[in-house]
Amino acid sequence: MKTVDNVLKEAILNGLYDKNENKGNEFIGPQLVNNDDQDKIWFTLRQELMSCTSFTWAVAFISENMLVPFKLVMSELAKKGISGTLITGTYLGFNSPKVFKELMKIPNLKVRISEEAGFHAKGYIFNHEDYQTILIGSANFTRSALLKNCEWGLKVTSHENGQLVQEVNNQIQSTFTTSIPLTNSWIREYEKNWQPVKKTAMHLANNQKEN
């Protein structure tokens, strides 16, 4: 019987070395994730959420309409005692005060605000019992990006001692350390100066905010 180690090694070799000599695995093998007729990026994120032990996301833009399905998943995870961390920011003023208010309502989600200039990350990290899965690409956490737009994401699974995973975790830890907790007082201050996203900002944001 193959161990998790053997299955993971074969999946990695299948995706990154030779698919003819190594057996692939549709769940943990390296793969390109996009929005096509058969699948959507959100479906992959949801699957990872429902099977993970915890997660950390670093994502710049969040739309209100993606918080509805996200809250449903987070409610299910809360029943299993699973929580996560979300690092986001204020780049271009894309995230509305309402988005931050709604994020505060999710009890099993720790939200941090990056103070890095031009924070525009899109990385999703999922911890599992024996491995980590990382999805990095062009997709923000918006309905357009996760269900419709032409977006590319690379999903890679590895042990925690893998070099790539360590590099991503180090970057996430650095971003976490330089971020601040999301609080009600922070939202009040943000709301005072926030203006709805202008057309120029929407263009720079790849038109990912939907009315």
The ranges assigned to domains in the chain are 1-28, 34-204
The DSSP element (H or E) to which 173 belongs, if any, is helix 163-177
The whole-angstrom separation of Cα 118 and Cα 160 is 29
Pick the CATH number of 34-204 from 3.40.50.10490, 3.40.50.300, 3.30.870.10, 3.20.20.70: 3.30.870.10
pLDDT digits (tens, 9 = 90+) for 166-188: 899 999 999 999 999 999 999 99
The whole-angstrom separation of Cα 182 and Cα 173 is 17
Contact 114, 179 (CB under 8 A): yes
pLDDT digits (tens, 9 = 90+) for 88-103: 999 999 999 999 999 9
Mean pLDDT over 129-155 rounds to 95
State both tokens at 76: 């299910």
Label residue 61 left, alpha or beta by phi (over 0 means left) and psi (-120 to 50 means alpha): beta
pTM score of the predicted model: 0.86
| 93 vs 161, higher pLDDT | 93
Query: β-strands 179-181, 109-114: how paired?
Result: antiparallel
The whole-angstrom separation of Cα 90 and Cα 99 is 11
The whole-angstrom separation of Cα 181 and Cα 19 is 44
pLDDT digits (tens, 9 = 90+) for 99-130: 999 999 999 999 999 999 999 999 999 999 88
